[in-house]
């Protein structure tokens, strides 16, 4: 049985097949595509049909189920072939650590008996999905409690229900704060080149009747100068052991501007996004994508023909610029290696 789409719009599972909302064509079209194989799931992650670290993790868990179902049905040395599938799936996108986390959480089940394995994997994937929604709601409440009544909030990219199992990380905080009447205004950067702020964050917030004002990425510093922003609230795709935060390109600039203007900077992410094997942000692999994404908008070229491009998808904000990291296990103020480690004790 599938979850209500209002609760989990990005990822749906009926016990056998996976359904993903194609986020590349929102908000103009709301189209779900059915996925039957792990190869299709990996391609959907690479192509950004689904995006956002927690949502990628949930999707990967279901991808493991599909891979096991097909490999077991074909017989032979299915465990070795399934391992190859998981390596391929893990390589779908390099920066989002939840992808690897979800696969590794599913992997121990693969050592069990073949009988009933697919059902056990499906149960675990659903548990990962439901736990992520619960974590987002917890983080929403925790983060909201730091926001004073009448505050203006700026967010970057999309860290909402579309980027998670449901409810959202950064948008979970914004949703909670709105429900508690703490917010005067919500602002969203457009987030070039994929325009996740314009297309996805604005769509989500307006679906919930939360007013949102869009602005060009380059306008955020000037907005802060006007005194309209009290908090910048963002998600994360990977957090290093020392609290450095990898997130959508443009986050670092927003953090620098926030610190200059005396504005608080909040990162909201589940502990599955924290990569304790990576000491600092400089060690986080940063995905670069095709320059063509910069050159075009809605399929129409807008750049000079002979221009070259540089298209890193993420940047790293040092922990020194982060006031809060909000997780489902608690809030880390002014994060350090020691404070991050304490979350897991």
Question: So what's the pLDDT on residue 158?
Answer: 97
Q: CATH number of the domain at 11-135, please?
A: 1.20.120.420
**Cα–Cα distances in angstroms (integers) from residue 291 to residues 54, 258, 305, in the given order:** 26, 29, 12
Cβ atoms 57, 276 nearer than 8 A = no
Cα–Cα distance between 144 and 9 in angstroms, integer? Answer: 23
Provide the token pair at 341: 């480690």
Superfamily of domain 140-342 in the CATH hierarchy: Translation initiation factor eif-2b; domain 2 (3.40.50.10470)
Question: So what's the pLDDT on residue 296?
Answer: 86
Q: How confident is the model at residue 1 (pLDDT cuts 50, 70, 90)?
A: low
Q: How confident is the model at residue 180 (pLDDT cuts 50, 70, 90)?
A: very high
Question: So what's the pLDDT on residue 274?
Answer: 97
For residue 121, cis peptide bond before it (omega within 30 degrees of 0): no
**Following DSSP, what letter does each residue of 261-321 receive, concatenated?**
TT-EEEEE--GGGEETT--SGGGS---B--THHHHEETTEE-S-TT-----BSEEEE-GGG
Where are the domains positioned within the chain?
A: 11-135, 140-342
Q: How confident is the model at residue 173 (pLDDT cuts 50, 70, 90)?
A: very high
Residue 125 CB contacts under 8 Å (≥ 6 apart), including other chains: 13, 58, 61, 62, 64, 65, 106
Residue 314 CB contacts under 8 Å (≥ 6 apart), including other chains: 95, 237, 246, 247, 248, 249, 251, 284, 286, 287
Residue 135 CB contacts under 8 Å (≥ 6 apart), including other chains: 270, 327, 328
Provide the token pair at 247: 């997130």
Average per-residue pLDDT in the chain? 95
Collapsing DSSP states into helix, strand and coil, what is residue 333?
A: strand
Question: So what's the pLDDT on residue 7?
Answer: 85
| Nearest Cα to Cα of residue 70 among 100, 45, 35 | 35
CA angle 111, 116, 121 (to 5 degrees): 65
Q: What is the pLDDT of residues 12-21, one digit of tens each?
A: 999 999 999 9
CA dihedral 246, 249, 255, 258 (to 10 degrees): -150
Does 2 score more than 80 pLDDT? no
Cα–Cα distance between 264 and 173 in angstroms, integer? Answer: 14
Cα–Cα distance between 284 and 303 in angstroms, integer? Answer: 30
Active site (annotated) includes residue 237: yes
Phi-psi sector, 235: left (phi>0), alpha (psi -120 to 50), beta: beta
The answer to whether the 11-135 and 140-342 domains have the same CATH topology is no
| Nearest Cα to Cα of residue 207 among 10, 27, 3 | 27
Region 190-196: mean pLDDT is 95
Annotated active-site residue in 189, 237, 315, 323: 237
Rg (CA), the chain: 20
Q: What is the pTM of this model?
A: 0.94
């Amino acid at each position: 049985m599938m979850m209500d789409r209002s609760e989990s719009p990005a990822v749906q599972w009926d016990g056998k097949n996976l359904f993903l909302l194609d986020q590349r064509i929102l908000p103009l079209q709301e189209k779900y595509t059915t996925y039957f194989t792990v190869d299709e799931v990996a391609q959907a992650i690479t192509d950004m049909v689904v995006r956002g670290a927690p949502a990628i993790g949930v999707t990967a868990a279901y991808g493991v189920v599909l891979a096991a179902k097909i490999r077991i049905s074909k017989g032979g040395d299915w465990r070795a072939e399934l391992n190859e599938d998981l390596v391929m799936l893990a390589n779908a996108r390099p920066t989002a650590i939840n992808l690897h986390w979800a696969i590794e959480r599913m992997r121990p089940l693969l050592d069990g008996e073949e009988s009933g394995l697919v059902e056990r994997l499906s149960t675990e994937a659903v548990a990962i999905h439901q736990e992520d929604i619960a974590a987002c709601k917890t983080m929403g409440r925790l983060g909201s409690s730091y926001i004073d009544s009448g505050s203006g909030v700026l967010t970057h990219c999309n860290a909402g229900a579309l980027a998670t199992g449901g409810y959202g990380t950064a948008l979970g905080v914004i949703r909670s704060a709105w429900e508690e009447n703490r917010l005067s205004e919500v602002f969203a950067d457009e987030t070039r080149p994929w325009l996740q702020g314009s297309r996805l964050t604005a769509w989500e917030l307006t679906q919930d009747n939360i007013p949102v004002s869009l602005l060009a990425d380059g306008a955020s510093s000037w907005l802060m100068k006007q005194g309209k922003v009290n908090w910048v609230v963002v998600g994360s795709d990977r957090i290093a052991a020392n609290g450095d935060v990898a997130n959508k390109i443009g986050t670092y600039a927003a953090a620098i501007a926030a610190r200059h203007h005396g504005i608080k900077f909040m990162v909201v992410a589940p502990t599955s996004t924290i990569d304790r094997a990576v000491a600092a942000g400089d060690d986080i692999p940063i995905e670069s994508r095709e320059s063509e994404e910069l050159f075009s908008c809605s399929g129409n070229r807008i750049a000079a023909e002979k221009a070259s491009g540089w298209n890193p998808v993420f940047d790293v904000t040092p922990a020194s610029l982060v006031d809060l990291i909000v997780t489902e296990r608690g809030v880390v103020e002014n994060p350090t290696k020691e404070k991050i480690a304490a979350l897991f004790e």
